[in-house]
Amino acid sequence: MADGVARSTTCRLAPQILLATTNAGKVREIRAVLGDLGWELKAQSEFADIPNVEEDGATYAVNAFKKAMALASRIGCPALGDDSGLEVDALSGAPGLYSARFAGPRATDGENRRLLLERLTGVPVSRRAARFRCVMALVSPEGGSRVVEGVIEGRIAERETGVGGFGYDPIFEVPDRGVTFAELPPDENNPISHRGRALALVRAMLIAEPAWWQPARE
């Protein structure tokens, strides 16, 4: 427990928000939006011996809160967790909660994309509507929380294009741009993405309630 006490003390000396993810792409996006607000943003991977939380909740919100609360209670700092997914109308909302493991528990992003395109073989453009949804939970070590959601509507392209982003970005087309997320530069992608929209709400909360997210001082 000494390590936990030391970490909690460190959080009180230097305000931090822990990022309950090991996904480097997500960490980059979060830091790009929240990095100028005065909190040190520390990814879960920067701490030793932090087990991954099983994302077995029935909703994105449950998974986001579960991940954030596990890290906040262990380290003693506020934590931000998220869960997101791609919902395809022609597949009755799949892959949804299972987006990261659509092609199997250890599937790569490429394998997930290939399976999704296979499932949509023969489906016309008019029926390829889809959306990215991101739910974020900002949690204090004492158990307080705020939950926000960001959504962007689009459609699934017929083939992969672009080299940017990660996950399903190369096959998610933004209709009013005529390109996939993977073709957009980060400064255009981040503000309109599902995660970017959720992060904008998190940013507003941190600005409006800065003291609420400071660890209690002894």
Q: Where are the domains of the chain?
A: 2-213
The DSSP bridge partners found for residue 172 are 156
Residue listed under structure tokens 């997101």: 84
| This model's pTM is above 0.75 | yes
Token couple for 132: 């990215």
CB 171 within 8 A of CB 156: yes
Assigned token pair, 141: 């070590």
Q: Are 188 and 53 in contact (CB under 8 A)?
A: no
Residue tagged active-site, from 3, 82, 83, 109: 83
Per-residue pLDDT of the chain (218 residues; tens, 9 = 90+): 334 444 455 566 678 899 999 888 889 889 999 999 988 999 998 888 888 888 889 999 999 999 999 999 888 889 999 999 999 999 999 999 999 999 999 999 999 999 999 999 999 999 999 999 999 999 988 878 999 999 999 999 999 999 988 899 999 999 888 899 999 998 888 889 999 999 999 999 999 987 766 655 44
From residue 161, how far is each of 117, 156, 180 by CA, in Å? 13, 11, 7
83 classed as catalytic:
yes
CB-neighbour burial class of residue 133 (10 A; exposed 0-12, middle 13-18, buried 19+): buried
Q: 2-213: what CATH class?
A: alpha beta
Output the DSSP codes for 47-109: STT-PPPP---SSHHHHHHHHHHHHHHHHSS-EEEEEEEEEEGGGTT-BGGGGGGTT-TT--H
Residue 132 belongs to what H/E stretch? strand 129-139
Q: Which value, in Å, is the radius of gyration of the alpha carbons in the chain?
A: 18
Q: Give yes or no for a contact between 64 and 83, defined as CB atoms under 8 angstroms apart.
A: yes
Contact between 87 and 130 under an 8 Å Cβ cutoff? The reply is yes
Under a CB-based contact definition with an 8 Å cutoff, are residues 181 and 169 in contact?
yes
Return d(Cα 7, Cα 141) in angstroms, integer.
12
Can you read off the two tokens belonging to residue 94?
Answer: 């799949």
